[in-house]
């Protein structure tokens, strides 16, 4: 047995044993892709186990994350900080070897994967980041590639088409995917669902495509070398494999996809693969030496890169540090009109943000003119201009979400993605995964309520604020006016431990007379009062202020609170929250969206004024009248409600 084959079989053995001990997991994919993994990791991948976050490392994404034990085994034998005890604790509480990979770049896990298609799209973002930064700094400092393992499931998910189409259009020649074509999915042979011509599909997208025997390491290596030489297109290496390779009765069956082999099958498989059947988690010394010897390629490349960085001129080093450690951002508010849509106020900030934060990049899903999210001082990122900072995503919200995450995960950039708020539904899997990974992506969602008007209920978000506020680690910021929009952007740009969503209005709203600084705390008092507290967000804040004026004329003293970001507000000390919301004062919420969740603010006995039905097609002023979002209607409801409280 050659050392390469022994290495592949050892990886198979570790995967089988980890799944068997956990009595849970997916052994089939690691057994099927082990030869591909050995070919890539031993001959081509440039990484440094001693410094896994080295900026110019190759990126490796396991999009078919159910095969996580293959990644953990590779990291362990290559010398990354994944121990044998970690592998033995697969899928156990507190272990870094979770059921699906969870981002831990210090250990070599580049991103969280598992929801199929997410890794496929996110790796495209990583490749765009590499191309852009290489255009800025040159190949002396940025010269790596992005590799990914993908599955039938990844290709069935619609996001793969969106992401692959854009990758081909952008000619991302430093992006190489290894497709595990094993013809098996959970429900049976893929022939029951998946009979398209994958090669033709990807060639139509503009990809370089090669078919190869996935168990012939030499053939995989030759195909990889061919792909590395193709610089004007991304590459798909279609590797024909056997799921559960080596299992005498379960190879090529759905049963080996997501269940342990069982003791009898496990022993028989080890015997067929030439592994000691009575030894669990066996790794011979020569396999450790083989993989760790292969890491010399990365150690040497890292040392050369470090030398080039140290020898770079002061201007280049300063620029590098600005991209990779930008520090806090403070914006200078422009002169705003008395009435201005918050999306328009946001758009007025883009060139200023871009000048202060050179890693600021992004785009919209074919809606830049509406979302006002263009950096006018820069061109489009394209195959002709890699330095462009505007990314034309086209109508590909699914892909935009994952690509934005990939740009952020890569490092060196601060990306945003934009569309209408209602279409955040299309992005939700990527938004959720970004929140899970604590990725500092920025989402700019405009046309935030029924007040977008005549486009009607298909375009009018109702439940979206409530549903996104329910997502852990996502901060949702809905500014009331232009000045709050400036502070909202500062909050988003200076938050690095998770994604932030800026939810902006289509219609003009008054620019309020107020002191600055309240958005950072999530909520603050705009107008004091003692009889009732009216809490509002976004465009409804000026409605609440108008209602307070009317209530004052009726001898009711109303406090008005702007609450642009619940998440930031709930992080404030209890005494601050009480100082804002009052203690023992009746509370009312006013928001043109679902009332779900507002009891966290108003209490169970408070009044929630919202919309718990879909909208309608009509001018915004008519909708305000019909849905009760005028100052008069809100004041009347509050006055009537207060009359029932005493």
Same domain, 622 and 494: no
> Are 298 and 46 spatial neighbours (Cβ–Cβ below 8 Å)?
yes
Same domain, 61 and 183: yes
Into how many domains does the chain fold? Answer: 3
Tokens describing residue 114: 């598992």
In a domain, 317, yes or no: no
- Residue 646, pLDDT score: 58
Other Cβ atoms within 10 Å of 218 Cβ, number = 12
Domain end marker among 492, 510, 528: 510
In a domain, 313, yes or no: no
- Residue 252, pLDDT score: 97
Kindly list the distances between the CA atom of residue 410 and the CA atoms of 397, 434, 562, in Å, as whole numbers in the listed order. Answer: 20, 13, 36
In a domain, 457, yes or no: yes
Q: What is the DSSP string of 500-562?
A: EEEE--SS-EE-----S--GGGS-EEEE--SSEEEEE-TTHHHHHHHHHHHHHHTT--EEEEE
Buried b (16+ CB within 10 A) or exposed e, 129-148: bbbbbbebbeeebbbbbbbb
Phi-psi domain of 563 (left: phi exceeds 0; alpha: psi -120 through 50; beta: other): beta
Same domain, 247 and 372: no
In a domain, 308, yes or no: no
For the chain, count helices (H), then strands (E): 26, 19
Same domain, 353 and 209: no
In a domain, 18, yes or no: yes
What would the pLDDT profile of 144-199 be if each residue is shown by its tens digit?
Answer: 999 999 999 999 999 999 999 999 999 999 999 999 999 999 999 999 999 999 99
In a domain, 327, yes or no: no
Positions of the chain with pLDDT under 50 = none
Q: Taking the model in full, what pTM does it have?
A: 0.97
> Are 35 and 220 spatial neighbours (Cβ–Cβ below 8 Å)?
yes
Domain end marker among 510, 530, 563: 510
In a domain, 322, yes or no: no
Q: CA dihedral in degrees (522, 527, 528, 533; nearest 10)?
A: -60
Angle made by CA atoms 274, 275, 280, in degrees to the nearest 5: 170
CA-CA distance, 23 to 476, in Å (whole number)?
Answer: 39
Tokens describing residue 161: 């088409």
Q: CA dihedral in degrees (40, 44, 46, 48; nearest 10)?
A: 60
Same domain, 50 and 145: yes
- Residue 484, pLDDT score: 97
Same domain, 506 and 530: no
Indicate the helix (H) or strand (E) that contains 466: helix 464-469
Same domain, 483 and 380: yes
Domain end marker among 510, 541, 562: 510
Same domain, 7 and 66: yes
Which domain CATH number covers 599? 3.40.50.920
The edge-to-edge listing of strands for the beta sheet with 558-562 is 524-527, 558-562, 532-536, 587-590, 607-609
Same domain, 53 and 72: yes
- Residue 515, pLDDT score: 74
Angle made by CA atoms 483, 339, 487, in degrees to the nearest 5: 10
Answer yes or no: 140 catalytic: no
In a domain, 312, yes or no: no
263-273 vs 3-22: helix crossing angle, rounded to 10: 170
> Are 627 and 621 spatial neighbours (Cβ–Cβ below 8 Å)?
no
Same domain, 496 and 545: no
Query: Which of 317, 401, 473, 364 has its CA nearest to residue 125?
Result: 401
Same domain, 570 and 588: yes
Q: What is the DSSP string of 328-377?
A: ----------SEE-HHHHHHTTHHHHHHH-TTEEEEESS-HHHHT---TT
What would the pLDDT profile of 102-142 be if each residue is shown by its tens digit?
Answer: 999 999 999 999 999 999 999 999 999 999 999 999 999 99
Domain around 567: 519-643
Kindly list the distances between the CA atom of residue 126 and the CA atoms of 64, 136, 228, 287, in Å, as whole numbers in the listed order. Answer: 17, 15, 17, 31
Which domain CATH number covers 174? 3.40.50.970
Active-site choice (102, 131, 397, 540): 397
Same domain, 487 and 540: no
Other Cβ atoms within 10 Å of 197 Cβ, number = 9
Q: CA dihedral in degrees (346, 350, 352, 355; nearest 10)?
A: 160
Pairing between β-strand 188-189 and β-strand 184-185 as defined by DSSP bridges: antiparallel
Give me the residue label for tokens 């600084």: 517
């Amino acid at each position: 047995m050659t050392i390469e084959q022994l290495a592949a079989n050892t990886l198979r053995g570790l995967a089988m044993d980890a799944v068997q001990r956990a009595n849970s997991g997916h052994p089939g994919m690691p057994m099927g892709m082990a030869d591909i993994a050995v070919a890539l990791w031993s001959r081509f991948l440039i990484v440094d186990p001693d410094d896994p976050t080295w900026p110019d490392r190759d990126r490796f994404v396991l999009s078919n994350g159910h095969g996580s034990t293959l990644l953990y085994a590779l990291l362990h034998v290559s010398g990354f900080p994944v121990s044998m005890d970690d592998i033995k604790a697969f899928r156990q509480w507190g272990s870094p070897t979770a059921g699906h990979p969870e981002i831990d770049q210090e250990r070599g896990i580049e991103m969280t994967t598992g929801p199929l298609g997410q890794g496929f799209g996110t790796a495209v973002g990583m490749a765009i980041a590499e191309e852009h930064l290489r255009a800025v700094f040159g190949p002396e400092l940025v010269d790596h590639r992005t590799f990914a393992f993908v599955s039938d499931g990844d290709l069935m998910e619609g996001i793969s088409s969106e992401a692959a189409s854009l990758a081909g259009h952008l000619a991302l020649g430093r992006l190489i995917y290894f497709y595990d074509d094993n013809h098996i999915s959970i429900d049976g042979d893929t022939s029951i669902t998946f009979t398209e011509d994958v090669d033709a599909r990807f060639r139509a997208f503009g990809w370089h495509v090669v078919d190869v025997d996935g168990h012939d390491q030499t053939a995989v290596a030759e195909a990889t070398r061919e792909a590395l030489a193709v610089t004007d297109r991304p590459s798909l290496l279609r590797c024909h494999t056997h799921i559960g390779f080596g299992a005498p009765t379960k190879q090529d069956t759905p049963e080996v996809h997501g269940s342990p082999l069982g003791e009898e099958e496990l022993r028989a498989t080890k015997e067929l693969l030439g592994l000691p059947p009575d030894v669990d988690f066996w790794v011979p010394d020569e396999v450790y030496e083989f993989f760790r010897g292969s890491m010399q390629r990365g150690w040497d490349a890292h040392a050369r890169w470090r030398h080039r960085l140290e020898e770079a001129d002061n201007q280049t080093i300063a620029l590098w540090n600005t991209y990779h450690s930008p520090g806090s951002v403070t914006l200078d508010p422009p002169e705003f009109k008395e009435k201005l849509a918050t999306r328009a106020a946001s758009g007025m900030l883009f060139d200023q943000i871009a000048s202060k934060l050179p890693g600021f990049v992004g785009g919209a899903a074919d809606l830049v003119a509406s979302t006002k999210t263009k950096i006018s001082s820069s061109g489009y990122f394209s195959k002709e201009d890699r330095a462009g900072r505007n990314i034309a995503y086209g109508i590909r919200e699914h892909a935009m979400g994952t690509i934005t995450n990939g740009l952020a995960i890569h490092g060196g950039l601060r990306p945003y993605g934009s569309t209408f708020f209602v279409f955040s539904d299309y992005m939700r899997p990527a938004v959720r995964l970004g929140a899970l990974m604590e990725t500092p992506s920025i989402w700019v969602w405009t046309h935030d309520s029924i007040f977008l008007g005549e486009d009607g209920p298909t375009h009018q978000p109702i439940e979206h604020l409530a549903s996104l506020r329910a997502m852990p680690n996502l901060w949702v910021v809905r500014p009331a006016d232009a000045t709050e929009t400036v502070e909202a952007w500062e909050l988003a740009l200076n938050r690095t431990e998770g994604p932030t969503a800026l939810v902006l209005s289509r219609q003009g709203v008054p620019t309020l007379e107020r002191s600055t600084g309240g958005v950072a705390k999530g909520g603050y008092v705009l107008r004091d009062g003692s009889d009732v507290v009216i809490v509002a967000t976004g465009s409804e804040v000026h409605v609440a202020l108008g209602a307070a004026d009317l209530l004052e004329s009726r001898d009711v003293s109303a406090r008005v609170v702007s609450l642009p970001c619940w998440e930031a507000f709930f992080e404030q000390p209890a005494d601050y929250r009480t100082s804002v919301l009052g203690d023992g004062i009746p509370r009312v919420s006013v928001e043109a969206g679902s009332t779900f969740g507002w009891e966290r603010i108003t209490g169970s006995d408070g009044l929630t004024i919202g919309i718990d039905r879909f909208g309608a097609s009509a001018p915004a002023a008519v909708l305000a009248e019909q849905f009760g979002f005028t100052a008069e209607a809100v004041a009347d409801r509050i006055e009537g409600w207060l009359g029932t409280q005493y």
